[in-house]
Structures are given as C-alpha cells and as structure tokens.
Amino acid sequence: MKSMRGVIARARALISFKHHPLIFAIGERTPCLSVSFESYYHRKNLGAMGLFGLERFCIDHDGFLGDDLHARFDELLSSSGAIRADLAPRLDAARAAQDRFFADCVHAVGLDEPTCTTLKGKG
C-alpha cells in the first residue's frame, strides 16, 4: 500500500473507478475524480469526497457518457493547486477529530496513555 500511496502522492491528479485509491489520493492531497457506474459506489464515493469538498468531482454513469467527465477533469487539473491547498486544513481537522475520538474511547474503557499510544500505532 505504501508504494501505491507514493505513486498517488506524486501524481498530478487521479481518476479512479475504485473507492480506496480516492481515499489515498485525498490523504496525499492529490486532486481526484471518481467515476462510478453503480449507484452504491457513487453514493459511497460522493460521501467520502463530500467530506473534503470534492463532491463536484464525483461522476456517475450519466456524467461519464456525457460531456461532464471532460469538463470536470479540466476543472480538476486547472484548480489542482487550490484543491491541494484546501485539502491540507481539511485533513488536519479530520485527523484532529480522529485523535479526539480515539482519546475519548481510550478514556471510556480506562486504558493508560502508553497503551493508547501503542494501540494507535505511534509506539
């Protein structure tokens, strides 16, 4: 997975039919575009991308067959710098929320700080 994330991190942009490459791209601040042919995956990708303000880059079957794909990809490339800049504070906020949630869970079950750090993968 690390090598795939490295490739994605160095990419100018990513177009994906799959969910996890989109998640990796967002985590690496790489502009991304989702193409989904099934409503389940479209909703799933739309939800994930919407958390980071990227919902306009989530294309369904109808958009793929029309002009929407080309227009959205052009927009993605032309605004890639702004997208990368916008993702940074959104990712920081998401990571802070994750840390708070984890700390609350650890506190709720009464674990100590060293155990918490080890469980979280920082130890």
What are the residue boundaries of the structural domains of the chain, listed by start?
2-120
The closest of 38, 17, 32 to 80, measured between CA atoms, is 32
- CB within 8 Å of 76: residues ≥ 6 apart: 13, 31, 32, 33, 57, 83
Low-confidence ranges of the chain (pLDDT < 50): 123
Alpha carbon 79 to its chain's center: 17
State residue 121's pLDDT score. 63
CB 32 within 8 A of CB 5: no
User: Which tokens belong to 44?
Assistant: 């799933």
State residue 53's pLDDT score. 95
SS3 label, residue 31: coil
State residue 104's pLDDT score. 84
State residue 123's pLDDT score. 46
